[in-house]
Amino acid sequence: MPRLPRFFSVAFLILMQSTLTGGFSTGPQPPDTVGQAQRLEMFRKYLRFGTYLDGGEVAPHWMSDGDRFWYADEEDGDAVYRLVDPRAATVSDLFDVPRLREAIESATGREVGAEGLPFRQFDFSTEAGDRITFELDGERWELELDSYGVRSLPKPEDVPRPRPIQQYAGVPGFWLLRERPSPDGRWTATLIDENLALREVRTDSIVTLTTDGSVDQPWGAAMWEFGAWWSPDSRYLLAGRRANPIAERWPLVRYPSWEEVPEKGFAPSVEMWPIWWWAKTSEAFELYLFDLESGTRTRVPIKPRPGQWLEPVEWLRDGSAVLLVRRGPEARVLDLLVINPEDASVRLLDSESVDRGSLYPAREPPYWRFLEDGRRFIFRSERDGYQNLVLYDVHAGFLRVLTSGPHPVRWFREHEATGWVYFAAQLDDGRPYDRHLARVPLTGGTVERLSNEPGQHFMSLSPSGRYILDHHVANDRPMRTDLKTAEGRYIMTLESGSTDRIREELHWSPPEEFSVVAPDGVTKLYGTLFKPWDFNPGRSYPVIDQFNALHGVGSVVLRSDPIGTSMHTAQAVAQLGFVVVTLDARGTYWRGRDFRLSTWGSGDTELIPEHVHALRMLASERPWMDLEHVGALGHSHFGYQAARAMVMAPDFYDVGVSSAGPDRQGFAGTENVASVVGTEEQPFRSNSSMAANLKGRLLLIVGTDDFQGPLYAMMPLMDALVEADKQFDFRLIPGAGHGVSSPRGPFGKYYWDAVAEHFLRYLKN
Burial 309-342 (b: 16+ CB within 10 A, else e): bbbbbbbbeebbbbbbbbbbbbbbbbbbbbbebe
Other beta carbons within 10 angstroms of residue 347's beta carbon come to: 13
Of the candidates 462, 347, 349, 365, the one whose C-alpha atom is nearest the C-alpha of residue 409 is 365
> What is the pLDDT, as a whole number, of residue 438?
98
> What is the pLDDT, as a whole number, of residue 303?
75
> What is the pLDDT, as a whole number, of residue 596?
79
- Sequence letter at residue 238: L
- Cβ neighbours of residue 538 under 8 Å, at least 6 residues apart? 624
> What is the pLDDT, as a whole number, of residue 28?
43
> What is the pLDDT, as a whole number, of residue 549?
67
179: β partners: 190
What 3-state DSSP class applies to 555?
strand
> What is the pLDDT, as a whole number, of residue 1?
40
Q: What is the DSSP string of 357-420?
A: --SGGG--S-SEEE-TTSSEEEEEE-TTSS-EEEEEETTTEEEEE---SS--EEEEEEETTTTE
Dihedral of alpha carbons 366, 372, 374, 377, sign: negative
Of the candidates 462, 602, 642, 591, the one whose C-alpha atom is nearest the C-alpha of residue 519 is 602
User: Which DSSP helix (H) or strand (E) runs through 518?
Assistant: none
Q: What is the pTM of this model?
A: 0.88
Separation of alpha carbons 16 and 34, rounded Å: 26
Separation of alpha carbons 606 and 610, rounded Å: 6
∠ CA 317-298-193, rounded to 5°: 95
- Sequence letter at residue 685: R
> What is the pLDDT, as a whole number, of residue 159?
52
Successive 10-residue mean pLDDT values, the chain, 765 residues: 36 36 38 71 94 91 96 84 97 94 92 84 90 91 94 75 50 58 92 90 92 85 74 95 73 85 88 58 73 95 72 89 80 84 95 64 72 94 88 95 93 96 95 95 97 96 98 95 98 96 95 95 94 95 88 70 72 97 86 78 79 97 98 93 96 98 65 45 72 98 89 94 98 92 92 97 90
